Amino acid sequence: MEILMAEHAGFCFGVARVISEVDRRLTAGERLMTYGPVIHNERVIQELEERGAHVLNTPEELAGMDGETLVIRAHGVTRQVMAQIRQMGLSYTDQTCPFVKRIHRIVAEAGARGETVVVAGDPSHPEVEGIVSYCEGPCFVIEGPEKALELQLEADTRVCLVAQTTFQINKFQEIVEVFTRKVYNLNVVDTVCNATEERQTEAARLAEEADAMIVIGGAKSSNTRKLFEICRDRCPNTYLIQRARELPERFPEGVRRIGITAGASTPNNTIEEVLEHVGRIV
C-alpha cells in the first residue's frame, strides 16, 4: 500500500497568521472574543474556546463585551460591522486575511468607477458577505457557470468579476468564458488565492493517481469542501473527515494507493494523526 501525501496541505498564510496571533495573546493572558469563528475548523475553535477565546456571532453581542480584545476573523467582516466596532470604541485586532482585504479594495474601486461587480462565490459565506458590503453600486453573487448563464445584463455593461479566495479555479475560468461570450465590457481580477489554486491542482492530480482519497478539514470549510468535490469527481473512494477516528476500519478491495490532502484550516497535528492512523490500516 502506497500513501501519496499532498505537499500543499494544512494552514494557509491567512489562517496561520490569525491562529498565531490568537495563541500569542492567549499565552500572554489576554481576554479575547472573536467575531465569528476565526477559521472554519470546529476542532481548533473548540480548543481556542477552552483556552478562553469566546465566539460572538452577531453585531448585537458586541454590546456585551467587557474589556476583552476582539479578534476579527480571517474571513473578515462586513463594512457595517467594522464601522460599529470602531464607533463603539472596542479594543480589536484585525486579522482579516490580506488577500481578502485586497478584494474589498478592488470591489470598492470598481463601484466608484461605475462598474457592476460580480462575485463568484457562496453568497452565505462570511468572506463573500464581507466583499459584497464593500460594493457601492450593483453587485451580484453567482455560485457557478450555470448562474453566470442565467445572469442577464446589458451587453455593454462594464463588469468587474472577482472570486471568493477559495473558489474552484476551473469554475472561475468557466465563468470568465461565459461572460466573454456575452460581450460585456469585462474587467477580470483573478482573486482566487495562490494557495487555493496550488491545493486544488495538486488534489486533482493525486485523485487521478490514487485508488482512494482522504480530504481532511472542517465540514464548514469552503476550501475543504471544494477539495472534496475535486477529488470525488476523479476518485469515487473519497473521504471527507475532520479527524482520524472518522476513517473506515478498512478501505475497499483493490485500494493500493491512498492520496491525502487537507484544507487550509487543518492543523498539522490533525494531518499527522491521520497519517499515523492510515499507516496502521494499510
Cα(135)–Cα(34) distance, integer angstroms? 25
Backbone angles phi, psi at 162, to 5 degrees: -125, 175
Comparing C-alpha atoms, which of 247, 210, 211, 213 is closest to residue 227? 213
- Catalytic-labelled residue, pool 68, 127, 143, 202: 127
Amino acid at 231: C
In sequence order, what are the residues at sequence separation of 6 or more whose Cβ sits closer than 8 angstroms to the Cβ of residue 51? 26
Neighbour tally for 33: CB within 10 Å: 21
51, 44 Cβ separation under 8 angstroms: no
What SS3 class is residue 205? helix
Cα 191 from chain centre:
12
Residue 127 annotated as catalytic: yes
Cα(216)–Cα(264) distance, integer angstroms? 10
In sequence order, what are the residues at sequence separation of 6 or more whose Cβ sits closer than 8 angstroms to the Cβ of residue 238? 207, 212, 213, 214, 215, 228, 231, 232
Comparing C-alpha atoms, which of 221, 270, 203, 277 is closest to residue 247? 277
158, 115 Cβ separation under 8 angstroms: yes
Helices (H), the chain: 13-27, 42-51, 79-87, 98-112, 126-133, 145-150, 169-181, 194-209, 222-234, 268-281
List the catalytic residues: 127
